[in-house]
């Protein structure tokens, strides 16, 4: 559901959206809506950190924000709860994570 992406955002919109993204109780469909409408880096970075962001969106955002992805509790649960899920993580995401200066040991053990 791609809507009209806003190329610019007012400070008032930002002051409303960032707290909503940072709230772990924000529903996945709302986070998906924000993703579809706001391409700004600060918004996308915050979305990558929210554990309610849908997994398919996390896989997109993880390319640009691998540190936030690794710090996302839902992402960590996704692959630590079932090692078979690790194989479903796109190769591009894995490469993005492995380029980080510090890769968590628990992640390396799954490779």
DSSP code at position 92:
H
Which structure tokens are listed for 11? 């400070």
Identify whether 3 is part of a domain.
Answer: no
pLDDT of 7 strictly over 70? no
Q: What is the pLDDT of residues 76-97, one digit of tens each?
A: 888 777 777 777 888 888 888 8
Decide which of 110 and 44 is more confident.
44
Range of the domain at 64: 11-110
Largest CA distance in the chain: 44
DSSP H helices in the chain = 11-22, 28-37, 41-49, 55-61, 66-70, 73-81, 83-86, 91-98, 105-110
- pTM (2 decimals)? 0.81
Distances (CA, A) of 94 to 1, 105, 109: 26, 14, 13
The answer to whether residue 1 sits within a structural domain is no
């Amino acid at each position: 559901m791609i809507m009209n992406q806003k190329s610019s955002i007012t400070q008032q919109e930002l002051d409303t959206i960032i707290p909503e993204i940072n709230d772990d109780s924000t529903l996945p469909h709302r986070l998906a809506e924000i993703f579809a409408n706001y391409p700004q880096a600060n918004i996308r970075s915050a979305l990558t950190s929210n554990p309610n962001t849908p997994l398919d969106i996390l896989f997109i955002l993880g390319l640009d924000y691998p540190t936030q992805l690794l710090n996302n509790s839902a992402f960590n649960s996704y692959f630590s709860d079932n090692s078979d899920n690790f194989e479903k993580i796109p190769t591009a995401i894995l490469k993005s994570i492995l380029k980080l200066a510090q890769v968590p040991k628990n992640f390396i053990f799954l490779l």
